[in-house]
Homo-oligomer: A and B are copies of this chain.
Amino acid sequence: MASSNKKKILNDPVYGFITIPTELLFDLVEHPYFQRLRRIKQLGLSEYVYPGALHTRFHHALGAMHLMGQAMQTLQSKGHRISDAECEAAQIAILLHDIGHGPFSHVLECCLLDSVHHEVISLMLMHELNQQFNGGLALAIRMFEGTYERPFFHQLISSQLDMDRMDYLNRDGYYTGVAEGAIGAERIIKMLDLVDDQLVVEAKGILSVENFLNARRLMYWQVYLHKTSICCESMLVQILRRARFLIRQGDFEPVYAPETFKLFLRESITLTDFRTNRTYLDAFTKLDDFDVWSCIKQWAIHPDPVLSTLCQMLLDRKLFKIMLSTEPFAGELLQELENQLRQTGLSDDVLSYFLVEGQATNAAYLPSGDRIAIKLKSGDVIDIADASDLSNIQVLTNIVRRYYVCWAKGISLRQLVRL
């Protein structure tokens, strides 16, 4: 039996208190893999726009676990049989769903781990933990993978209405101060039900679901894809690109990095590498925001002017300018920006570090095609798009694309002369 002194209560500004309900969950929270999430911010560089947005993946994962507990209670109170083991497994799965995130996850995945998605790493780490805990995570893994026979568990872990989204919208809204992002998670959860072990929402919850979809859409543009965040992330991408270039080039000036991080800068690591060589996964479980920031600080005094200029700019929040458009930018515009940069003394081989084109989409925040099912009073189950008189339900889940270009306006010549 779980000894009660392993039950722990945490303060959470968003929900008041979070209780860790079982001994195994407590041990997982205490595990270094999970403690590492304390050192990884949920919103990466968004703090440059929203100074309060400093919350971590650690706190988010605990919040999602808390909501999962509420969902279990709600479904049980509606007469659905859910065993203690299932409850715990569902809470384990959601607690660990993000354990494979690295620091500045989108940036890292984009430029260092091109072919390895964080969910794959989460699963690897769950299997690793499953061994350490003598198979105690087996059911949680099946739920996470979607192979457990009762589909609603997977839906609560990963779908349009999963506990992940419920928590992060609330939490991101709280810490950024974008009050419109707050959703009535409690209300939606109370409206959850099951039909044939599929997750549905009672009809009277339609408006809350619509509100949730709206809040999510607002948060994309107001927070997740805020143009200043895009700008900061672009700068970080260039920094990592340059550092990698210098390291691989084997410059006479060494480029500082903690060994575990250097591994990822030096090598091109594929999913197969991850699977076959234990070194990579071990190194990954050591990575956190501090590795990246300590490098940025050291690189700001590196002799390479590209690297040091970019790092110092980011540290001092001297950001690139950015333009957004729904259309791709005309070649002439980019040409003109390049010319401006050349006039500040930049040579052509480094231009690309100071002028970045790209696209931002909300795709990362959208689920893969699953529907939200509404249970009518008649008992019938229909798609929310058919249940709502709001014609734009579909719109809310569309992928929207923004083209952007950002560049170092008025960059200081002196520093670059040394190129």
Contacts and interface: CB of A to CB of B under 8 A. Distances in A.
A99 B17 CA distance: 32
A71 to B, nearest CB: 14
A175 B9 CA distance: 17
A364 interface: no
A249 interface: no
A195 interface: no
A168 B164 CA distance: 31
Residue of A62, A174, A178, A221 ringed by the most chain B CB atoms within 10 A: A178
Interface residues of A, number: 71
A400 interface: yes
Interface string A158-194: 0000000000000000111111101110110010000
Nearest to A10: B51
| Protomer copies | 4
A190 B9 contact: yes
Given A180-B208, A211-B215, A392-B392, 12 more contacts: A13-B175, A32-B315, A35-B315, A51-B59, A179-B182, A207-B218, A210-B214, A214-B214, A290-B294, A291-B297, A293-B294, A389-B400
A415 to B, nearest CB: 15
A390 B389 contact: no
Contacts of A180: 183-184, 187, 207-208, 211
Contacts of A52: 11-13, 55, 59, 175
- Return the 10 tightest CB-CB contacts between A and B, nearest first: A294-B294, A392-B392, A13-B177, A54-B54, A11-B177, A290-B293, A180-B211, A32-B316, A51-B59, A214-B214
Contacts of A221: 207
A35 B297 contact: no
Interface string A378-392: 000000000001111
